[in-house]
Structure 1
Amino acid sequence: MKKTWLLGLGFFSISLTWALYNAFVPLFLDDYLKSAALIGFMMTIDNYFAMFLQPWIGHRSDKTTTKYGRRMPYLLIGMPLGAVFATLIPLHTGLVTLVLFMMLMNLSMSLFRAPTVALMPDITPEKNRTRANGIINFMGGIGSVLAFGIGSMLYGIGSYIPFLFAGIVMLGSMFILKKVIKEPILLESHPDAKRSGPPVRIKDQLDRTTLFILGAIFFWFVAYQGVEALFTLYGTKHVGMTDGEASFSLTFFSLAFLLFALPSGWLGAKFGKKKIIMIGVIGLFLVFGSVVFVDSVLLLRVVLIIGGIFWACININSYPWVISTGREESIGTRTGIYYFVSSLAAIVSPPLLGWVIDTFGYPALFISASVGLLLALGCLFGASSEERPAGKGPLDRTPITVE
Structure 2
Amino acid sequence: MTRTSAGKRGGGRRITLLVALAVFAQESTWNFYESQVPPLLRQHLTSAALVGLLMGMDNLLGIFIQPWIGARSDRTRTSWGRRIPFLVVGMPVAAALFAVIPHTASSLPLLIAVMFSYALVANSFKPIAEALVPDFVSAGRRSRANAAVKIASSLTTIVAALVSLLLVDDHLNIAFAIPSLIMVVSVVVLGVTVRDSRSPGYRSAVAESRAKDRAEHADPRVRDVFADILRDRDRSRFLLLVAIFLFGGAWAASRSLVTSYGMEALGMSRGAAGGLTLPSGVAFILAAYPAAVLAERHGRLRVMAAGMTVFAAAMVLGTTVRTPTGTVVAMCVAAAGGACVLVNAVVVLWNLAPSARVFAAYGGLYTVGWSGGGFLGPALVGAMVDVSGWPLMLIDTAAVTVPAIAVVTRIGALRRRSATAPAK
Normalized against structure 1, the TM-score is what?
Answer: 0.83
- Check 1:183–1:347 CA distance in 2 against 1; reply closer, same or farther (3 A cut): same
Name the SS for the 1:194 alignment partner.
Answer: helix
Q: Which amino acid aligns with 2:189?
A: I
Task: State yes or no: 1:194 paired with 2:210.
Answer: yes
Show CA shifts across 1:162-205 (max 9, x none).
53332222222111111222211669xx8775256955331113
Q: 1-side partners of 2:76 and 2:361: how far apart? A: 12
Q: 1:368 to 1:41 in 2, by over 3 A?
A: farther
> What is the deviation of 1:376?
1.2
Corresponding residue of 1:396: none
- Code of the residue aligned with 1:17 in structure 2: it is T
CA contact (8 A) 2:134 2:142 kept: yes
Query: Within 5 Å, which residues of 2 pair with 1:138-153?
Result: 138-148=151-161, 151-152=164-165
1:331 matched to which residue of 2?
359
CA 1:370–1:137 in 2, change beyond 3 Å: closer, same or farther?
A: same
Distance in 1 (alpha carbons) for counterparts of 2:392 and 2:52: 15
8 Å Cα contact 1:79/1:112 also seen in 2: yes
- Residue 271 of structure 1 is matched in structure 2 by 298
Q: Larger C-alpha radius of gyration, 1 or 2?
A: 2
Pairing partner for 1:127 from 127, 140, 145: 140
Structure 1 residue 341: Cα displacement: 1.6
In structure 2, the CA distance between the partners of 1:93 and 1:204, relative to structure 1 (3 Å rule), is same
3-state SS of paired residue (1:42): helix
Pairs within 5 Å for 1:65-104 = 65-91=77-103, 92-93=105-106, 95-104=108-117
- Which of 337, 340, 343 pairs up with 1:310? 337
2:210 aligned counterpart, secondary structure = coil
Q: CA deviation at 1:247?
A: 5.4
Aligned residues: 386
Higher relative contact order (CA 8 A, sep 6+): 1
Q: How big is the alpha-carbon RMSD for the aligned residues of Structure 1 and Structure 2?
A: 3.3
Aligned with residue 371 of structure 2, among 315, 335, 343: 343
Higher helix share: 2
Of 144-153 and 70-79, the range deviating more from structure 2: 144-153
Report the equivalent of 1:378: 406
Pair 161,252 (structure 1): closer, same or farther in 2 beyond 3 Å: farther
Q: In the alignment, does 2:58 pair up with 1:46?
A: yes
Q: Show the counterpart of 1:20.
A: 32
Confirm or deny: 8 A CA contact 2:307 2:337 kept in the other structure.
yes
Shift of 1:16: 2.5
Task: Quote the residue 2:252 is aligned against.
Answer: 225
The 1:143/1:204 distance shift into structure 2, 3 A limit, reads same
| 2:93 maps to amino acid | L
Q: CA deviation at 1:75?
A: 1.1
For residues 51 and 235 of structure 1, the distance between their equivalents in structure 2, rounded to whole angstroms, comes to 31
Residue 5 of structure 2: aligned partner: none
After TM superposition, the structure 1 stretch with the greater mean CA deviation from structure 2, 157-166 or 326-335, is: 157-166
Q: Deviations over 1:51-106 (max 9, x none)?
A: 11111111111110123210111112221232233334455236544443332222
Find the aligned partners of 2:239 and 2:47 in 1 and give their Cα distance: 37
Which residue pairs with 1:283 in the alignment? 310
CA contact (8 A) 1:277 1:318 kept: yes
Query: For 2:154 and 2:66, how far apart are their aligned partners in 1?
Result: 22
- C-alpha distance in 2 between matches for 1:184 and 1:274: 31
C-alpha distance in 2 between matches for 1:191 and 1:321: 24
- TM-score normalised by structure 2 residue count: 0.79
Quote the residue 2:229 is aligned against: 205
Cα shift at 1:39: 4.7
Measured against aligned partners, the alpha-carbon deviations of 1:322-355 in whole angstroms (never above 9, x if no partner) come to 1111222221221121112222223323555566
**Structure 2: distance between partners of 1:353 and 1:13:** 32
Going from structure 1 to structure 2, the CA distance change for 1:300 and 1:64 (only over 3 Å counts) comes to same
Give SS of 1:55's match.
helix
Letter in 2 for 1:342: W
Give distance in 1, aligned partners of 2:373 and 2:147. Answer: 23
Cα distance in 2 for residues equivalent to 1:164 and 1:289: 42
Contact (CA 8 Å) 1:40, 1:230: kept in 2 or not?
Answer: no
> Residue 400 of structure 1 corresponds to which residue in structure 2?
none
SS in 2 for 1:68: coil
Q: Which runs of 5+ in 2 are unaligned?
A: 1-12
Q: Structure 1 residue 256 and structure 2 residue 283: aligned? A: yes
Q: CA deviation at 1:377?
A: 1.3
Q: In 2, are the aligned partners of 1:149 and 1:251 still within 8 Å (CA)?
A: no
Residue-by-residue CA offset, 1:354-393 (whole Å, 9 max, x unaligned):
6666787655654443232122112212213459768xxx
Cα distance change of structure 1 residues 27 and 195 upon mapping to structure 2, 3 Å threshold: farther
Deviates more, 1:165-174 or 1:258-267: 165-174
Percent identical residues: 25
The 1:162–1:325 alpha-carbon spacing in structure 2 relative to 1, beyond 3 Å, is: same
CA distance in 2, matches of 1:26, 1:230: 17
Q: Take 2:109 and 2:268, find their aligned partners in 1: how far apart are those partners?
A: 30
Cα shift at 1:270: 0.6
Within 1, Cα distance between the matches of 2:290 and 2:31? 23
Partner Cα distance (2:339, 2:173) in 1: 30
Residue range with higher mean Cα deviation, 110-119 or 233-242: 233-242
Gaps (5+ residues) in structure 1?
Answer: 391-403
Quick check: 2:262–2:268 contact (8 Å CA) kept in 1? yes
Q: Could you tell me how far apart the structure 1 residues matched to 2:415 and 2:165 are? A: 41
**Residues 1:61 and 2:61 are matched in the alignment:** no
- Contact between 1:78 and 1:110, CA under 8 Å: does it hold in 2? no
The 1:249/1:177 distance shift into structure 2, 3 A limit, reads farther
